[in-house]
A and B are shown apart, each in its own frame.
Chain A
Amino acid sequence: MAIMTVFANPHRFMSVSQPFAWIFSLAGVALIFAGVYMGLFLAPADARQGDAARIMFVHVPSAWLSMFAFAFMAGASLVSLVWRHALADVAAKSAAPFGAAFTALCLTTGSIWGYPIWGTWWEWDGRMTSVLILFFIYLGYIALWQAMDTPQKASRAAAVLCLVGAVNLPIIKFSVEWWNTLHQTATFFTGDNNATYGFKAPMYVVALGYLALFGGLTLFNMRAEILLTRAEMRLQRRLALG
C-alpha cells in the first residue's frame, strides 16, 4: 500500500518513470535479440517436430505475456475501482494495446506452427478459442475507452469489463486439461522435466525480453497518456476562463 500511495501522484510518477522506461525497453530489446539468436542458432531441433519447434521461442512467450498483461490490467482495474488510485486507470489503459499485440502474435505464430505439425491453420479447440476470445476482449476494452462520453465513465466501464474478462484467464490456462483439445498440455512450470535446458533457455530469455519490453513500453505509454490529459485539461481551463 505504501508503494501504491507513493506512485499515486502523477507528478511524482512523471519525475521518476522515464529512466525506468528506457532501462526496461532497452533490456527487453537486448534480451529478445539474445533469445532469438539462441533459438535460431544454438537450440537443437526437436526430436519429433524438427526445426518447426523453433517457432515456439516466439509463440509461447507471447502467450504467457498476453495472459500476464491482462492479469496486470485486471489488477490495475481492481485498484482503480476500489481505491480510486490516480494512475491505476492509466496503467490498465496503457497496457492494453501491448497485450492485444502479444495476443495477436501468439495466435498468428501458433497458427503458422500448427499447419506443418497438425495439418491445419486453425482448430476451434478450447485453448485456441479462449485465446481468440481474450484478443476480442482486448479489442473491446480499447474500443470502450473511445466509446464513452467522459473519461470517468469510460474508466469505470473499462475496469468492469476487464474484471469480468479476467474470468477467461483460468479458462485459457486449464482449457487443455478440462477439454480434450488438439493443443498440447503445459510443458513448462509443471514440475516434470519435459524440456531440455537447450530448449528452455531461449524460451525464458525471450519471455524475459517480452516482459521487460512490455514494462518499458507501458511506462512510456502511461507518460504519453498523462501528457495528453494535461494538454486537454489546460485547454479546457483556458476555455472555461474565456
Chain B
Amino acid sequence: MFDYDKYAPYVFWSYGIAAVVLTGVVVWTFLRVRAAHRALKDADDEIVGKGREE
C-alpha cells in the first residue's frame, strides 16, 4: 500500500493539495450560506426592532 517508489512525495503532495482545496471550497460555501442566513435574520430583526421603537 502506498508503495509509489521515488514518486511517492509528488503523489502525496498532489492528493494532499487537492484535499485541502476541495475541503476549503466546501467549508467556505457552507460558511457563506450561514452568513447569508444570519444577514437576512439581522435585517428582519432590525426592521422589527425599528417598528417597535415607532
**Residues in chain A within 8 A of chain B (CB atoms):** 25, 29, 32, 36, 40-41, 45, 50-52, 54-55, 58-59, 62, 97-98, 101, 104-105, 108-109, 112-113, 115-116, 213, 217, 220-221, 223-225, 227-228, 230-232, 234-235, 238
Once the chains are docked, how many angstroms separate the CA of A221 from the CA of B2? Answer: 36
Once the chains are docked, how many angstroms separate the CA of A97 from the CA of B32? Answer: 12
Q: How far is the CB of A121 from chain B (nearest CB, A)?
A: 11
Q: Say which size band chain B's interface belongs to.
A: 35 or more
Once the chains are docked, how many angstroms separate the CA of A105 from the CA of B15? Answer: 10
Decide if B22 touches A213 in the complex (CB within 8 Å). Answer: yes
Decide if A231 touches B25 in the complex (CB within 8 Å). Answer: no
Once the chains are docked, how many angstroms separate the CA of A45 from the CA of B11? Answer: 12
Choose one: A97, A113, A232; the contact of B10 (CB below 8 Å).
Answer: A113
Q: Main secondary structure on chain B at its contact with chain A? A: helix
Decide if B30 touches A220 in the complex (CB within 8 Å). Answer: yes
Q: Main secondary structure on chain A at its contact with chain B? A: helix
Choose one: A52, A62, A228, A235; the contact of B7 (CB below 8 Å).
Answer: A52
Once the chains are docked, how many angstroms separate the CA of A55 from the CA of B10? Answer: 8
Once the chains are docked, how many angstroms separate the CA of A50 from the CA of B26? Answer: 32
Once the chains are docked, how many angstroms separate the CA of A101 from the CA of B28? Answer: 12
Q: How far is the CB of A210 from chain B (nearest CB, A)?
A: 8
Decide if B36 touches A59 in the complex (CB within 8 Å). Answer: no
Decide if B43 touches A112 in the complex (CB within 8 Å). Answer: no
Q: How far is the CB of A33 from chain B (nearest CB, A)?
A: 10
A225: chain B residues at CB < 8 Å are 36
Closest to B31 in A: A224
Decide if A54 touches B18 in the complex (CB within 8 Å). Answer: no
Q: How far is the CB of B43 from chain A (nearest CB, A)?
A: 4
